[in-house]
A and B are shown apart, each in its own frame.
Chain A
Amino acid sequence: MLVTSPGHSTKAHQRAIFDRQCAELRQRRRLHTAFGLLLFVALCIGSAVIGKFSPIALIEGAPKLGEYVQRTLPALHWSSLGADLAYWFYGLRKWLDLLLETVLMAYLATLLGSLGALLVCFYGSRNLALNGWSYHLARRASEFFRTIPDLVFALIFVFAFGLGPLAGILAIALHSLGANGKLFAEANENIDMKPVEGLRALGSGWVQTMRFGVMPQVMPNYASYVLWRFEINVRTAAVMGFVGAGGIGMELITAVRSLYYEDISAILILIVVTVGLIDIGCERLRHALIGRETLE
């Protein structure tokens, strides 16, 4: 039972091995740091050259930026503030309608995309997938939908279904499916597998195992991802109009093209306020969800 031939020699030997491993580790770390630093500098220089980044152009151009912003802002007088504001926001009714359309587009697209992601994500988790085939299929599909920019999808759908919000909704939904499919699947991969095995041992089918073994563990994560995706989608929906896929973007791009400077600022302010409010609301909800008990 007792260690039979101990002595100092083994102890010293073990200690020496350990010391050598530490030294190797330190050396490797130093090498990694040096290499990383070199790569970082090279990438900075490379991207500056390729992007034609020049500080002079930046300094020369900066005043024009201010000029543009100034031009978009109307002259407001304290004495006639009400009338001036009414003049500035003359299209408020129409813009608010379009903003509502934008938010609803984002809402519907988030809903559709997340439902799709929910169907895909179980197949796309390494620990839950039925087999290697379904895993790779699910992963590659969501990768595809995620990497294609949503504006490109929108262009295709406008071509197919005509101008209007339908194209935008589909485009954003597909992108959300790809993005959430990956996030959901990764949440699934981090679960505790013991309850899953427990359910399998009870004779539960695959669907039941996912429903009762996996979903209770990941639902708060899912909800948080969906809310986050909604925030992003509201911003995306706001520019969908650039390619004629519905929402307030159409109005904005028209104003920009026709040089209706004051309309630009008015619409932008409305967008910023809406997006900000939605962000704050979603964030509150997300934090509330993270701490909540989920009893069924």
Chain B
Amino acid sequence: MLDRISGLRTVETGSTEAEPTLSVRRLSKSFTNGPCVLSGVDIAIRPGESVALIGANGTGKSTFVRCLLRLIEPNDGDIRMFGLDVRALTSRSLRHLRSRVGFVFQRHNLVLRLSALSNVIHGAQARMSSPGSWYQALAPSRVRDEAMTCLERVSLDGKACARADSLSGGQSQRVAIARMLMQRPEFVIADEPDASLDPRAGEEIMRLLHETARERGLGLLFISHDLEHAIRFSDRIVGLAAGQVALDVRSNNANPTELRKFFAEERP
């Protein structure tokens, strides 16, 4: 498997002139008094590329994507995003970087007591620094218009005023995508956007995510436990096992039986 990966690497570096949107080297993370979750992960994502990240439960996929935005501080390694050294950023420029990356969570992470539209408006928060952003009712009308447009894009404009906790799982995830669009992101990370959704809703969400990223030419890094989604909505599949990248293949010549190994339950 190793020669296959290195073979791919040389092909890729040979064919690309543009600087990768994201490049990670030797990223490692271990939680205090816990085992080492990530031990030297290497990944590069070119502009506009869509990459699926797969791996068994608990291999550290969520930990990895959180480390990319330093929602969790990594222990060691290099993260470069948009040409910036992420680990060296001050808190102010880190906030700016985060605002440039759309992040869709495993479990949507909406503010439940607020309306769907308010949640979408949050996406513009890093752009609005005026005191007007302290009270949502004072959000300028062009911001509201933009938020409505984003909701319309995920065909949820009818639910704009519904409280987030009254929405179904699929609807919540669509609000999360609208919030992501509101950010006007330059890169999108999605942590199992299709988890806890029924097959049809899950596929719809994945398609929506893929389409919106395509429309704007954004790079996409998503985690999925659905093999079919991983193959269909990505250009490349990266498999994580034992804290390292154990597989890196183009989706169109991926071997399903090989991929399936990454979903096998580990046994104690």
Distance (Å) between the CB of B143 and the closest chain A CB? 14
Candidates A200, A208, A211, A213; contact of B71 at CB < 8 Å:
A200
Given A200-B71, A296-B136; A195-B111 close (CB under 8 Å): yes
Residue of A nearest to B162 (CB): A295
A216 within 8 A of B: yes
Given A201-B69, A203-B99, A295-B115; A212-B109 close (CB under 8 Å): no
Instruction: Kindly identify, within residues 173 to 212 of chain A, every residue whose CB is under 8 Å from any CB belonging to chain B.
Output: 192, 194-195, 197-205, 208, 211-212
- In the complex, A211 Cα to B136 Cα: how many Å? 10
A217 within 8 A of B: yes
Determine whether the beta carbon of B115 is less than 8 Å from that of A202.
no
Chain B residues whose C-beta falls within 8 Å of the C-beta of A217 in the assembled complex: 111-113
Given A204-B122, A212-B122; A295-B96 close (CB under 8 Å): no
Number of A-B residue pairs at CB separation under 8 A: 82
Residue of B nearest to A192 (CB): B112
Chain A residues whose C-beta falls within 8 Å of the C-beta of B98 in the assembled complex: 200-203
Determine whether the beta carbon of A216 is less than 8 Å from that of B96.
no
Distance (Å) between the CB of A116 and the closest chain B CB? 19
- In the complex, A199 Cα to B112 Cα: how many Å? 13
Given A208-B133, A293-B163; A203-B95 close (CB under 8 Å): yes
Distance (Å) between the CB of B74 and the closest chain A CB? 16
A294 within 8 A of B: yes
Chain B residues whose C-beta falls within 8 Å of the C-beta of A195 in the assembled complex: 109-112
Given A203-B97, A296-B118; A212-B125 close (CB under 8 Å): yes
Distance (Å) between the CB of A95 and the closest chain B CB? 42
Given A216-B114, A296-B137; A202-B107 close (CB under 8 Å): no
B210 within 8 A of A: no
Instruction: Kindly identify, within residues 26 to 44 of chain B, every residue whose CB is under 8 Å from any CB belonging to chain A.
Output: none
- In the complex, A201 Cα to B126 Cα: how many Å? 10
B5 within 8 A of A: no
Chain B residues whose C-beta falls within 8 Å of the C-beta of A211 in the assembled complex: 134
Determine whether the beta carbon of A202 is less than 8 Å from that of B111.
no
Chain A residues whose C-beta falls within 8 Å of the C-beta of B103 in the assembled complex: 198, 201-202
Determine whether the beta carbon of A201 is less than 8 Å from that of B71.
yes
Determine whether the beta carbon of A296 is less than 8 Å from that of B125.
no
Instruction: Kindly identify, within residues 170 to 218 of chain B, every residue whose CB is under 8 Å from any CB belonging to chain A.
Output: 176, 179, 183
Chain A residues whose C-beta falls within 8 Å of the C-beta of B134 in the assembled complex: 211
Determine whether the beta carbon of B95 is less than 8 Å from that of A198.
no
Determine whether the beta carbon of A204 is less than 8 Å from that of B95.
yes
Chain A residues whose C-beta falls within 8 Å of the C-beta of B99 in the assembled complex: 202-203
Determine whether the beta carbon of B114 is less than 8 Å from that of A296.
yes
- Sample of 14 A–B contacts (CB below 8 Å): A197-B71, A197-B105, A198-B103, A198-B109, A198-B122, A203-B98, A204-B126, A212-B111, A212-B122, A293-B163, A295-B114, A296-B114, A296-B118, A296-B137
9 pairs of A and B residues whose beta carbons are closest in the complex: A203-B99, A198-B109, A203-B126, A203-B98, A201-B103, A194-B109, A195-B111, A216-B113, A203-B95
